[in-house]
C-alpha cells in the first residue's frame, strides 16, 4: 500500500536524483495558492535570499515552491485542508525534513483574542480521519507541537504570543454555535483546517513541528468575515502574516 512508499520510490515518482533531499518544510493554510507567494518571497528576502525556484517534474506536486538555500533545500506549499496537506508533509518527511512549520490563520475561540493576534499552539486536536490514520494504533486526537521548536518560533516572532491549543476540523461551513461554545469551554484558542494533520504526520515521523497562526475572525465574539469591521482590520492581519512568515523562515533556517 502507499504507506510502504520509500524515499527511493518518492524520488523516482518526482523524477529527481537519488540523493535529492528536503531539509525543511513550510506550509500555509489557505487558498488560492498564488496570493501567498509574495509573502513567502518577502520573508526569504529578509534573510538575504532571492527566491529562485527549482522545477519539480511531478504533475501532482508541481506547485510546491522548492528553493535551494545556503542552509539546504526548503519546500514551501499552500495547502487547504488535511488531504493534500498530509501528502505534502508525508513526502517531505520521507525526503529527510529536519523540521516542519505550519503557518496560517485561525478562527478565534476566546473572547480576549483580537484580529491579528498570534497563536503558537502547544498542541492541535482533531477528530477527522487524516490525523487518526497517522496516530494508529492509539487513534489519538491530541497532537503536540515540539516545545523547543515552538519556543524558537516564538522568539523569532517577537510579539505577544498565545500558547493555548487549537482544534482542527474539515468542514468550516458546518460549524454551529454549539460547537463554538463547546470549543471555547474546552480552552481552545482557535479553530483551523490543517494544523492537527501537519502535527500528526510530523509526530509519526518523529520530526520537530510547530505552528504559528494569526486570528482572523472571532467566533466566540460572533465577529465574522462577513462583518463590515472585518475589512477595516485587514492591516492588522497582514502585519501578523508578515511576522509569522519571516519568523518561520528564520526558524527553519536555524534547523537546516
CA 155-207-51 angle, to 5 degrees, is 65
**Coarse DSSP helix, strand, coil percentages of the chain, rounded to the nearest 5 percent:** 40, 25, 35
Burial bucket for residue 231 (CB in 10 Å: 0-12, 13-18, 19+): exposed
pLDDT tens-place string over residues 72-130: 999 999 999 999 999 999 999 999 999 999 999 999 999 999 999 999 999 999 977 78
CA 62-170-42 angle, to 5 degrees, is 45
Task: Tell me how far apart the alpha carbons of residues 212 and 184 are, in angstroms, rounded to a whole number.
Answer: 19
pLDDT tens-place string over residues 141-197: 899 999 999 999 999 999 789 999 999 999 888 989 999 999 999 999 999 999 999
Q: How confident is the model at residue 15 (pLDDT cuts 50, 70, 90)?
A: confident
CB atoms within 10 A of CB 109: 27
**Homologous superfamily of domain range 2-255:** Nucleoside phosphorylase domain (3.40.50.1580)
| H-helix or E-strand spanning residue 214 | strand 209-218
Q: How confident is the model at residue 222 (pLDDT cuts 50, 70, 90)?
A: confident
What's the predicted TM-score (pTM) here? Answer: 0.95
CB atoms within 10 A of CB 83: 13
Residue by residue, DSSP assigns 105-119 as: EEEE-STT--TT-EE
Which cell is 114 given?
483580537
pLDDT value at 227 more than 80:
no
Q: How confident is the model at residue 229 (pLDDT cuts 50, 70, 90)?
A: low
Amino acid at each position: 500500500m502507499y504507506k510502504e512508499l520509500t524515499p527511493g520510490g518518492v524520488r523516482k515518482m518526482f523524477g529527481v536524483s537519488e540523493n535529492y533531499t528536503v531539509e525543511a518544510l513550510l506550509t500555509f493554510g489557505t487558498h488560492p495558492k498564488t496570493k501567498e507567494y509574495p509573502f513567502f518571497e518577502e520573508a526569504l528576502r529578509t534573510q538575504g535570499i532571492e527566491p529562485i525556484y527549482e522545477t519539480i517534474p511531478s504533475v501532482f506536486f508541481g506547485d510546491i515552491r522548492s528553493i535551494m538555500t545556503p542552509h539546504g533545500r526548503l519546500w514551501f506549499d499552500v495547502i487547504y485542508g488535511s488531504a493534500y496537506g498530509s501528502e505534502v508533509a508525508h513526502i517531505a518527511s520521507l525526503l529527510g525534513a529536519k523540521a516542519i512549520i505550519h503557518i496560517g490563520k485561525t478562527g478565534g475561540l476566546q473572547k480576549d483574542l483580537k484580529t491579528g493576534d498570534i497563536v503558537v499552539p502547544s498542541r492541535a486536536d482533531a477528530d477527522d480521519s487524516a490525523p487518526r490514520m497517522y496516530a494508529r494504533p492509539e487513534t489519538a486526537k491530541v497532537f503536540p507541537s515540539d516545545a523547543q521548536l515552538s519556543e524558537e518560533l516564538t522568539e523569532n516572532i517577537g510579539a505577544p504570543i498565545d500558547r493555548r491549543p487549537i482544534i482542527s476540523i474539515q468542514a468550516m461551513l458546518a460549524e454551529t454555535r454549539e460547537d463554538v461554545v463547546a470549543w471555547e469551554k474546552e480552552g481552545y484558542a482557535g479553530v483551523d483546517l490543517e494544523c492537527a494533520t501537519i502535527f500528526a504526520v510530523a509526530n509519526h515521523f518523529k520530526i520537530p513541528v510547530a505552528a504559528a497562526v494569526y486570528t482572523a475572525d472571532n467566533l466566540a465574539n460572533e465577529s465574522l468575515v462577513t462583518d463590515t469591521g472585518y475589512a477595516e482590520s485587514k492591516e492588522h492581519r497582514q502585519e501578523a502574516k508578515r511576522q509569522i512568515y519571516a519568523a518561520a523562515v528564520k526558524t527553519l533556517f536555524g534547523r537546516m
